[in-house]
Amino acid sequence: MHHYWLKVIATSNIRNKILFYKQKILLSNEVDFMAIQLFVPTFDVDGCLAEIKECLEKGWTGLGFKTLQFEEEWKRYTGLPNAHFLNSATSGLNIAFDILKERYGWNDDTEVITTPLTFVSSNHAILLAGLKAVFADVDNTLCLDPNDVEKRITPNTKAILYVGLGGNTGHYDEIVSLCEKYDLKLILDAAHMAGTRLNGEIPGKEAEVVIYSFQAVKNLPTADSGMICFKSRELDDIVRKKTWLGINKDTFARINTKGNYKWKYDVEYVGQKYHGNSIMAAIGLVQLKHLDKENSYRRQIAEWYTKGFASYNDKIKLIEIPQNCESSRHLFQIIVDDRDGLIEALNQEEIFPGVHYTDNTEYRMYGYANGTCPNASYISDHVISLPMHMRLSFDDVQTIINTILKFISK
Query: Torsions phi, psi of 197, nearest 5?
Result: -130, 145
CA distance 342 to 124: 31
Is the pTM higher than 0.85? The answer reads: yes
Res. 251 pLDDT band, cuts 50 70 90: low
* Matching CATH number, 48-288, of 3.40.640.10, 1.20.20.10, 3.90.1310.10, 3.40.50.720: 3.40.640.10
Assign 407 a pLDDT band (cuts: 50, 70, 90).
very high
Q: How many CB atoms lie within 10 A of CB 5?
A: 15
Query: Which range (6-20, 21-35, 243-257) has the least confidence?
Result: 6-20
Interval 31-56 mean pLDDT: 92
pLDDT at 21 over 80: no
pLDDT of residue 9: 41
Whose CA is closest to 137, among 337, 360, 381? 360
Q: Mean pLDDT over all residues of the chain?
A: 92
Instruction: State mean pLDDT over 170-176.
Output: 98
Q: Judge whether residue 57 has pLDDT over 80.
A: yes
pLDDT band at 34 (very low <50, low <70, confident <90, very high): confident
Report yes or no: 401 and 407 within 8 Å, Cβ to Cβ: no
Domain residue extents for the chain: 2-41+291-408, 48-288
First to last CA, the chain: 43
Q: How far, in whole angstroms, is CA 321 from its chain's centroid?
A: 17
| Residue-wise pLDDT tens digits, 255-299 | 555 556 566 899 999 999 999 999 999 999 999 999 999 999 999
CATH superfamily of the domain spanning 2-41+291-408:
Aspartate Aminotransferase, domain 1 (3.90.1150.10)
> 156 with 110: CB under 8 angstroms?
yes
pLDDT at 370 over 90: yes
Answer with the residue of higher pLDDT: 259 or 75: 75
The helix (run of H) or strand (run of E) holding residue 171 is none
CA-to-CA separations, 45 to 23, 53, 216, 287, 388, in angstroms, rounded = 18, 12, 14, 10, 20
